[in-house]
Amino acid sequence: MSQNIDKIQDHVELFHQPEYQELFENKKANEGMASPEEVAKVAEWTKSWDYREKNFAREALTINPAKACQPLGAILAAVGFEGTLPFVHGSQGCVAYFRTHFTRHFKEPFSGVSSSMTEDAAVFGGLKNMIEGLQNAYSLYQPKMIAVCTTCMAEVIGDDLGSFIGAAKNDGSVPQDFPVPFAHTPSFVGSHITGYDNMLKAVLSNLTEGKKKETTNGKVNFVPGFETYIGNLRELKHLVAAMGVNSTILADNELYLDSPNDGEFKMYQGGTTLEDAADAINAEQTITLQTYPTVKTREYIEKQWGQKTATYRPWGIKATDEFLTALSEITGNPVPAELELERGRAVDAMTDSHAWLHGKTAAIYGDPDLVMGMLQFMLEMGVEPVHVLVNNSNPEFEEEAKALLASSPYGAKATIWGGKDLWHMRSLLFTEPVDFLIGNSYGKYLWRDTKIPLIRIGYPIFDRHHLHRYSTIGYNGAINLLNWIVNALFEEIDRNTNIPSKTDISFDLVR
């Protein structure tokens, strides 16, 4: 047995073994694959302007869209509340995908259950699955709240969550007063940020019903949005505490997604307490850090709670200044010396690296708010965005992005590509190359093809560890962004100047 264990090889080496290479060659022959020369010829054509025009003319096909579906965002919002179990009304395969997606990014277990709908439920409806599923989830996992969302199957056949959950309570699956917020989250509409918004609104409307008081609680609510950088939640708490703001973080999944390894598994870690969430209706106001995953939630808070809302994206120096100024106006407290020191450090670091970034061209893709935040930072550094691609775009985002780009001379080269995918980005990079690309792990295939350096900022990041633990907001976040970008460019310079006596003229020790 020990000898067999010693022979186990990592897949990186395994598939280079002779038996696998022979298998691959046989596969090519059996499938009638084109000759290497023909493959190379077509591959070269796909780099041309001619192919780009055909690529951008396609309508019936999406290739690597750089977005996920609604339920993914819904369950991320759900685990931000104390003792909450996400419940996906749909097939087991869907919830397995969502859990795996988050586990690969955060390197943490992610709990979620499904109603296990199969062919019979697709024909006759999923009421029975809902009744049994809620009963099992409540008795086995003992949550304080179960947050229900849907997948394509349930939406196509028209399952009514409100009616189903009411029937399940009447059947005794869960107590009548047990909170079961629900959101319809069809995967064929919107994206993961839409699902986050729908679920957050559902949770808040459920928990705050009948909790409105005559006076406020003196607090300010903060909503991080579809946030996949745990460091940003910590940075938000740091800034809010330093400014002396009495606050409630809504959908606070920091500890759930970055829990300590203390030898004991806890299914529910941290989260906004249900009591604090219920009392959020009595806050002075609500501030969100992302615009597009909170559209319906902000509208609900303004109309139903009668609260003022505002959005700040504290990416870079100027936007962080504006955020802290707003908090100072709310509290009457001045910005403390601690934060002024952090600001000075960030400005000093940006000054140190400015010469290496000024005038560099960049392409970026990702969610609307992340792209807006990165554009803010890049323009401050004199980086010139060229290709700005957002698959889950909308007219409001594009108008906002164009206004930001127009506010700086460094934004003049940029084009917003809304609704396009990463195969479109490939054509853009080949026909109009840039100095670097910013995006998630899926961009590594673009890097491989185009040789343009990829700087991994966004979600998901599967092929690098621990980047999600850092912050991208605040003054500390600005230093992290600067670090990732400038050092990636230094690595590229070294790779291009590492042949002795040929390219090593600038293989310098000091940068």
* Residues 185 and 228 reside in one and the same domain: no
Domain count, the chain: 3
* Residues 235 and 183 reside in one and the same domain: no
* Proportion of the chain above pLDDT 70, given as a percent: 99
- Domain annotation covers residue 254: yes
Provide the annotated active-site residues: 152, 156
- Domain annotation covers residue 158: yes
* Residues 334 and 262 reside in one and the same domain: yes
- Amino acid letter, 229: Y
* Residues 320 and 367 reside in one and the same domain: no
Give every CB contact of residue 15 below 8 A, 6+ residues apart in sequence.
21, 24
- Domain annotation covers residue 74: yes
Q: What is the pLDDT of residues 314-325, one digit of tens each?
A: 999 999 999 999
* Residues 304 and 431 reside in one and the same domain: no
Number of Cβ within 10 Å of residue 276's Cβ equals: 21
* Residues 435 and 492 reside in one and the same domain: yes
For residues 288 and 298, the answer to whether their CB atoms sit within 8 Å is yes
**pTM of the entire predicted model:** 0.95
- Domain annotation covers residue 393: yes
The CATH number of whichever domain residue 171 belongs to comes to 3.40.50.1980
Q: What is the pLDDT of residues 166-194, one digit of tens each?
A: 999 999 999 999 999 999 999 999 999 99
To the nearest 10 degrees (0 to 180), the angle between helices 316-331 and 337-357 is 160
* Residues 137 and 202 reside in one and the same domain: yes
- Domain annotation covers residue 251: yes
* Residues 492 and 348 reside in one and the same domain: yes
* Residues 356 and 424 reside in one and the same domain: yes
- Domain annotation covers residue 502: no
- Domain annotation covers residue 99: yes
Unique residue bearing structure tokens 């930001």: 404
Host domain of residue 276: 220-338
Of the residues 157, 187, 208, the one at which a domain ends = 208
Is residue 9 very low, low, confident or very high in pLDDT (cuts 50, 70, 90)? confident
Angle at 128 between CA 124 and CA 133, to 5 degrees: 135
* Residues 227 and 96 reside in one and the same domain: no
Q: What is the pLDDT of residues 344-383, one digit of tens each?
A: 999 999 999 999 999 999 999 999 999 999 999 999 999 9
Q: What is the pLDDT of residues 199-234, one digit of tens each?
A: 999 999 999 999 999 999 999 999 999 999 999 999
For 304-354, give the DSSP string: II--EEEE----HHHHHHHHHHHHHHHH-PPPPHHHHHHHHHHHHHHHHHH
Query: Distance (Å, rounded) from C-alpha 403 to C-alpha 176?
Result: 50
Of the residues 338, 368, 384, the one at which a domain ends = 338
Of the residues 176, 208, 240, the one at which a domain ends = 208
- Domain annotation covers residue 40: no
* Residues 291 and 175 reside in one and the same domain: no
* Residues 114 and 179 reside in one and the same domain: yes
